[in-house]
């Protein structure tokens, strides 16, 4: 049987061929893994860049809101004096008309002046609430009444809530223990919680889930545990389960672009923590509930701590 003589090195090639194939396969696998890693890193970089751009926009919006707040404080100051003059002039004119009662036309003018005076007083009260809320008393801690501070924040927000047809209720004890901190910052927390609830219930109504928007505030004085608890509930559908643990993170928001900075709840959490308290969030059957718990000042210490408090406010 005749045949060609084996090619020099063919036996060696036959021996190393499986290793060459294995090497090529390993290189292909490594190349695929490397390529996937590059794609993953590129996507992460792009996502980080998008988040950074969003945070920059949020910071810019926060800066604009801060400037707007300063402008509002100036406008409030300028409006207060003219309103006082209008109120005084109205009351004086009404008193003069009452001395000449009996004339139907004068009586009608007196009624109109009474309406003007009432609306002027209402505007003055709103302005006073804004002045208290915007005052710079950070660092000046006093003992204060949670019920009074909550009512102050509510009075400031009532026109806004009424415009959105939101029903607001406050259940509070007639006598409540004091807490220690900065009243204006506590009011800021209440405003943040109520505005978040407002956005949730309005969104729920627009989606057709509810017909009535409801926000309920409840204050509980618990001397046995030495705490004062404030709960803000709404029927806005609640917080998504995956977001519930992140709601107090800075810049985290479930709202759309331009609808929220993601700072309100994180700032509120820091304020309550600075008062040695706790702020937590949970869902209930109809919506979300935010709970504030603050250390209650024992009655024996209230008088000593509130000596310098100007009428509690």
Q: Residue 313 has what pLDDT?
A: 32
Q: Residue 65 has what pLDDT?
A: 57
pLDDT band of residue 215 (cuts 50, 70, 90) is very high
pLDDT band of residue 304 (cuts 50, 70, 90) is very low
- Above 70 in pLDDT, residue 194? yes
pLDDT digits (tens, 9 = 90+) for 93-135: 777 777 766 676 777 777 777 777 777 776 766 666 555 555 5
Distance separating alpha carbons of residues 289 and 283, to the nearest angstrom: 6
For range 58-62, the mean pLDDT: 63
Does 130 share its domain with 205? Answer: no
pLDDT band of residue 307 (cuts 50, 70, 90) is very low
Residue range of the domain that includes 102: 12-134
C-beta separation of 271 from 255 below 8 A: no
* Ordered strands of the 288-295 beta sheet: 166-171, 213-222, 227-234, 288-295, 278-283
Q: Residue 62 has what pLDDT?
A: 61
pLDDT digits (tens, 9 = 90+) for 15-28: 677 777 887 888 88
Does 17 share its domain with 111? Answer: yes
Percent of the chain past pLDDT 70, that is, above it, reads: 71
Residue 220 zone, left/alpha/beta (φ > 0; ψ -120 to 50; rest): beta
Is 311 domain-assigned?
no
pLDDT band of residue 5 (cuts 50, 70, 90) is low
For range 204-232, the mean pLDDT: 91
pLDDT band of residue 308 (cuts 50, 70, 90) is very low
Of 26 and 308, which is predicted with more confidence? Answer: 26
Does 119 share its domain with 171? Answer: no
Does 85 share its domain with 176? Answer: no
Q: Residue 58 has what pLDDT?
A: 65
Does 180 share its domain with 285? Answer: yes
Is 182 domain-assigned?
yes
Q: Residue 208 has what pLDDT?
A: 83
Of 119, 134, 149, the last residue of a domain is 134
Is 6 domain-assigned?
no
Does 296 share its domain with 172? Answer: yes
As for how many domains the chain has, the answer is 2
Does 110 share its domain with 73? Answer: yes
Of 134, 156, 180, the last residue of a domain is 134
Is 156 domain-assigned?
yes
CA dihedral 169, 174, 175, 179 (to 10 degrees): 10
Is 200 domain-assigned?
yes
Mean predicted lDDT score pLDDT of the chain = 77
Q: Residue 158 has what pLDDT?
A: 85
- Above 90 in pLDDT, residue 87? no
Q: Residue 54 has what pLDDT?
A: 72
Does 154 share its domain with 231? Answer: yes
Of 134, 152, 179, the last residue of a domain is 134
Q: Residue 108 has what pLDDT?
A: 74
pLDDT digits (tens, 9 = 90+) for 271-300: 898 899 999 999 998 899 999 999 998 554
Is 95 domain-assigned?
yes
pLDDT digits (tens, 9 = 90+) for 150-182: 998 898 888 888 888 999 999 999 888 899 998
Is 7 domain-assigned?
no
Within 13 Å and on the Cβ side, how many CA atoms surround 160?
14
- Above 90 in pLDDT, residue 46? no
CATH code for position 154:
3.30.565.10
Q: Residue 311 has what pLDDT?
A: 33
- Above 70 in pLDDT, residue 229? yes
Distance separating alpha carbons of residues 271 and 193, to the nearest angstrom: 13
Helix axes 10-98, 104-134, angle to 10 degrees: 140
Does 81 share its domain with 167? Answer: no
Does 165 share its domain with 107? Answer: no
Does 122 share its domain with 165? Answer: no
Is 1 domain-assigned?
no
User: CB 74: neighbour CB atoms within 10 A?
Assistant: 11
**Which residue, chain included where needed, has tokens 């890193």?**
41
Of 19 and 235, which is predicted with more confidence? Answer: 235
Q: Give Dmax over CA atoms of the chain in angstroms.
A: 146
Does 151 share its domain with 298? Answer: yes
Q: Residue 197 has what pLDDT?
A: 92
Look up residue 203 and give its two tokens. Answer: 């969104």
For range 233-261, the mean pLDDT: 76
């Amino acid at each position: 049987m005749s045949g060609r003589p084996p090619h020099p090195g063919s036996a060696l090639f036959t021996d190393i061929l499986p290793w060459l194939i294995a090497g090529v396969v390993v290189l292909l696998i490594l190349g695929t893994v490397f390529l996937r890693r590059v794609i993953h890193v590129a996507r992460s970089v792009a996502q980080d860049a998008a988040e950074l751009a969003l945070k920059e926009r949020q910071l810019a919006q926060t800066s604009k809101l801060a400037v707007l707040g300063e402008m509002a404080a100036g406008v409030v100051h300028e409006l207060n004096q003219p309103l006082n003059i209008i109120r005084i002039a109205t009351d004086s004119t009404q008193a003069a008309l009452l001395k000449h009662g009996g004339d139907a036309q004068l009586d009608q003018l007196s009624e109109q002046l009474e309406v003007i005076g009432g609306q002027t007083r209402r505007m003055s009260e709103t302005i006073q609430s804004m002045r208290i809320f915007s005052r710079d008393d950070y660092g000046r801690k006093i003992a204060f009444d949670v019920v009074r501070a909550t009512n102050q924040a509510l009075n400031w927000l009532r026109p806004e809530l009424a415009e959105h047809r939101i029903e607001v209720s406050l259940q509070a004890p007639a006598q409540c223990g004091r807490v220690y901190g900065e009243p204006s910052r506590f009011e800021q927390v209440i405003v943040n919680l109520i505005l978040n609830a407002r956005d949730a219930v309005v969104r729920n109504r627009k989606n057709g889930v509810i017909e009535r928007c409801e926000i309920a505030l409840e204050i509980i004085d618990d001397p046995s545990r030495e705490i004062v608890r404030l709960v803000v509930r709404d029927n806005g559908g609640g917080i998504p389960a995956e977001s519930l643990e992140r709601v107090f993170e800075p810049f985290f928001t479930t709202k759309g672009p331009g609808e929220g900075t993601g700072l309100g709840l994180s700032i509120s959490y820091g304020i309550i923590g600075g008062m040695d308290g706790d702020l937590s969030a949970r869902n209930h059957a109809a919506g979300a509930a935010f709970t504030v718990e603050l250390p209650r000042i024992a009655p024996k210490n209230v008088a000593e701590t509130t000596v310098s408090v100007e009428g509690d406010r």
